[in-house]
Amino acid sequence: MKINNRDDSRPRIVNLDFLRGIFIILALNQHFTYYINMWYVDYFRDTMALTTTYAVHFPMIGKQIASDVYNHWLAIVFTPWVSQIYLTMSAFNLAKKNQIIFGEEMSGKFKMFGLIFLYFVLENFLVAPNLGQAISFYPIMLWMVILVIISLVYKFLGIKGILALTLLSMLRFVIPIEMVSDFFEMIIKTNVHPGFEYDARFEYFILSGLLGFIMGYVHFHQPNLRHRKDYMFMGFGLVLVLIYAAIGDKFTVPYDDFFMTEHDLARTFSGTAYIIGIQAILISFFLWLEKRNIKLNVPLINWVGIYSLMIFALHRIFFVKLIAPISVMVGSITGRTIGASIIEIYIYIFITLGLCYFVKTSPISDIILQKRK
């Protein structure tokens, strides 16, 4: 039977929607905790009212807010790869079409990637506390760059080109690519703004994107492997995790700065093995469950997975410009400062998801997108 690669009505993979939803929620957890960590250092703005309206917050100015132990435990487990797996699953979906049809449709994909990139550049200027952070290079912008590179390689060189790029990407462990990245970051910090961060580096993320594409290619285009592929990738992932267990350094996260060590494991061979291995195991396991008709369909989580891009696009603006300032105002009335306990963080997350749902289902989205009935 011939597979119609032009058919975009292919049913969604329910378990990957679930997995994507889980990791978007964990990304919100990480982001909101960091903003609270740094709220009284970088983000608190209404200083003229510190001795009146915000007097309860005055002793906290300049201090970093520590997370509680439960939220910290989540960070220890998920931080090394929560910002990687979303790229992996995006690249997995990118591999749906065969090389010829993919090339015919690539210009449309590039427009979408470009618009997403531009949006998140502009969003930085809305939420960043200074120019340096506003022009910093963060993961979702890098994801778009990596998806473009993978698309170009696939169009012109096919899956063999993807495999060659994967091998080439491994050279980062034997040549000083990170020194070049450090030099680039230093130049911008010195000549433009000291707050700049080359946070999401190409060499840290490229293998996750390639892993996702290869897994997607096998899933969609190698029916002869459909009974073995999940076991193959889970076994491959287990070997990589065992490498990290044998020779890797322990991962730590400061209680009062959830982003400080975010990419520490991605810098090393053993840490990268762990990141790639965990992703291969998780995605393959959830695909294995789906193949056996064990579908994880939790309405809230799967909704987050389906509309993950919208939620990711809005969550920082909602939190920095609306939720956290209101929380600070309420705190000034009730006599408490803003905190980073797991309960407080998840209250903020559910408020954010509620706001996103309102935007998605209300006439506001029709007005913004200029939809006509």
Of 267, 132, 139, which Cα lies nearest the Cα of 199?
139
- Residue 316 burial (CB count, 10 A): 21
pLDDT at 176: 87
User: Which tens digit of pLDDT belongs to each residue from 2-43?
Assistant: 444 444 556 789 999 999 999 999 999 999 999 999 999 999
Residue 111 in this model has a pLDDT that exceeds 60: yes
Alpha-carbon span 366 to 252, nearest angstrom: 44
Mean pLDDT score, 81-105: 93
pLDDT at 75: 95
Alpha-carbon span 184 to 197, nearest angstrom: 10
Mean pLDDT score, 252-280: 96
Residue 269 in this model has a pLDDT that exceeds 60: yes
**H/E element, 250:** none
User: Which tens digit of pLDDT belongs to each residue from 156-178?
Assistant: 999 999 999 999 999 999 988 99
Percentage of the chain lying above the pLDDT 70 cut: 95
Flag whether the pTM goes above 0.85. yes
User: Which tens digit of pLDDT belongs to each residue from 118-169?
Assistant: 999 999 999 999 999 999 998 989 999 999 999 999 999 999 999 999 999 9
Residue 115 in this model has a pLDDT that exceeds 90: yes
pLDDT band at 47 (very low <50, low <70, confident <90, very high): confident
DSSP string, 41-98: III---GGGTTTTTGGGGGGTTPPPPB-HHHHHHHHHHHHHHHHHHHHHHHHHHTTS-
Residue 81 in this model has a pLDDT that exceeds 70: yes
Reduced to 3 states (helix: H, G, I; strand: E, B; else coil), residue 140 is helix
